[in-house]
Every structure is written in structure tokens, then in C-alpha cells.
Structure 1
Amino acid sequence: MKIKKILPLFMFLITFSFYAQNDKNLDEKRDKVKAYKVSFLTTELELTSTEAEKFWPIYNAFDDKQFELRHEKMKAYMSRLNDDNINSISEKEAATLLAQIESTDKELYLLREKYMSNLKKILSAKKILKLKKSEDDFNRKLLKQYRDKAGK
């Protein structure tokens, strides 16, 4: 399976695994990962000071909103989809839940579209591609660290 197909699943699973932990622990882990990501992206992107000044507020706002959508809404969906519930919900309830999931997916898409539009105002297309590649590299690196820790 291609890494591009695995990464979104991995990020979803990481987000989902955070739900089982208390909020303080979640915030600490998220802050650590975020700091590591900022450091990684700063090194990889080689932004000018002007670009960095405009880029980071846009990037952080996008990242926070994306996390909020995934964390809050998916938490609600997943709590309703445990093995016992999924077999006992009605078709109407399943359709409603599916519509809510689709709505969240749409919100995420529109958020990403707005984010890209904002990025195009401050970064070249080449740097935006470099950002995308760097984010993918970061996710692979994070996945590797996670696997290495789990294997020990």
C-alpha cells in the first residue's frame, strides 16, 4: 500500500488514540508534536523572515482548526461507532451519522481550500509544494518513531 494512503489513516488513528487520554496529557503530547513539527518545517522550508512572519499565523490557525474539527467531531462520531453500537443502530441513525461525517469532511475540504488560497498570497508555488512534501516527510518520520517505540 502506498504511503500516501497510509498517512491519512495513521493521522486519524493517532488523533483517535488521543481521545482515550485525558485532556492535559493530550495537550502535552500535541504541544510536543507541534513544536517538533514547527522545528522540522522551519528547517525544511527555509522561509525568509518576511515569509515566516506571514506564514506561521496562517499555518497555525489552519492546523488548530483542522485538529479541532477532527478531534471534536470525530470523537463524537467514534463514540457512537463502537462495536456494540454499530450493530444496534437503526438505518436512519446510520444515515444521519454518515451525513454528519460527510459534513465534517466537507468542512475540512473547505478549510484546506481557504488555507491554500491564503498560502498562495505569501509563498511561491514551489515553496507550497516543498511544504506539502515536508509535511509528508514529517508524518513519515513521526510514524517511524511511533513504530520504533511500539516495537521496543
Structure 2
Amino acid sequence: MKIKNILPILLFLVSFSFFAQSSKIDEKREKIKAYKVSFLTTELELTPTEAEKFWPIYNAFDDKQFELRHQKMKTYLSQLDDDKMNSISEKEAAVLLAQMESTDKELYLLREKYNSNLKKILSAKKILKLKKSEDDFNRKLLKQYRDKAGKD
């Protein structure tokens, strides 16, 4: 598997473990979000006009994507622990699989709409730069998490 395929899964699992602690969920998410905004602002070099149009679209996409991944997928993952997995019926497994596929489809459609909206305000080159910057940010965040985990 390529690193680009593994990285989102790792980030999901890392962020899932971050958010498992209910008392600091919002605080950590906001801190990461602020760090990401700062990082992307520096990397993208948006004009004031671009920034004014870009950030509402980006934030709406990011919030909806977070909701889909962390709210719905959290429910699915809770049903996939070893104890439940061994006792789940084929019918229940099929329903769960259908729900997961539906969420994947929602994520795909959300990204498609997001890309369409971005094309109206950013050049193709800046959109590619955004995608690269997000990947760079995620790698940096994962490295910080690993470094912190290694010290504990």
C-alpha cells in the first residue's frame, strides 16, 4: 500500500484516539484546527480576496468531513471490537457494511462538491498546492504525535 493510502487511515486512528478523552476533545480539536489554519495560510499565500472566499468553504467542508468521519465512523468502529465482531450475525454485518459504504459515498460527494467550489475561487495550481499542504500538515502532525508518544 502506498503511504498516501495509509496516511488517512493512520490520521483517522490517531485523531480517534485523541478524541477518545471526552474532557479535552474540543480543546485539542480547536488547537489542531488553529495550527492547521496557520500552516495552510502560510503555505497557500492566498490573496485577501481568495482568503475571504476560501476559508468559509474550507471550514464548512472540514467541519462536515469531521462530523462524518468521527461521529458516524465512531459508531461503526464501536461495533467492530473483537467481542462484538465474533458474535455479530451476517445480517447485522451486512447492515453495518451498508452504513459504512453510505458514509464513504457521503464523503466522496462532499469532496466532489468542495472541489467544485474551490475551482470557482482558486487556480488549479493553488488547489494542488492546498492538497499537498494538507498532506504535509498531516505528516507533520503525525510526526509530532509519534515524537510525543516516544517521550512518554
Partner of 2:4: 4
Alpha-carbon distance in 2 for matches of 1:139, 1:18 = 14
Change (3 A) 1:43 1:31: same
Give the aligned residue type for 2:74. K
Shifted more, 71-80 versus 94-103: the winner is: 71-80
Change (3 A) 1:19 1:144: closer
After TM superposition, give the deviation of residue 3 of structure 1 in Å. Answer: 2.3
Which ranges in structure 2 are unaligned for 5 or more consecutive residues? none
After TM superposition, give the deviation of residue 20 of structure 1 in Å. Answer: 2.1
Aligned residues: 151
Partner of 1:109: 108
Partner of 2:118: 119
After TM superposition, give the deviation of residue 61 of structure 1 in Å. Answer: 0.2
Alpha-carbon distance in 2 for matches of 1:45, 1:5 = 24
2:27 aligned with 1:28: yes
Alpha-carbon distance in 2 for matches of 1:134, 1:20 = 27
Partner of 2:13: 13
Spell out, residue by residue over 1:10-42, the C-alpha distance to the aligned partner (whole angstroms, 9 max, x if none): 1210232144211x4111100000000000000
**SS in structure 2 opposite 1:92?**
helix
TM-score, length-scaled by structure 1 = 0.96
**SS in structure 2 opposite 1:81?**
coil
Residue pair 1:37, 1:138 contacting (<8 A) in 2 also: yes
Partner of 2:79: 80
Spell out, residue by residue over 1:51-96, the C-alpha distance to the aligned partner (whole angstroms, 9 max, x if none): 0000000000000000001111011111111110001000000000
Give the percent of matched residue pairs that are identical in Structure 1 and Structure 2.
84
Give the aligned residue type for 2:59. N
Which ranges in structure 1 are unaligned for 5 or more consecutive residues? none
Following TM superposition, the consecutive aligned residue runs of length 4 or more in structure 1 with deviations greater than 4 angstroms are none
CA RMSD of aligned residues (A): 1.0
Give the aligned residue type for 2:106. E
Alpha-carbon distance in 2 for matches of 1:76, 1:144 = 27
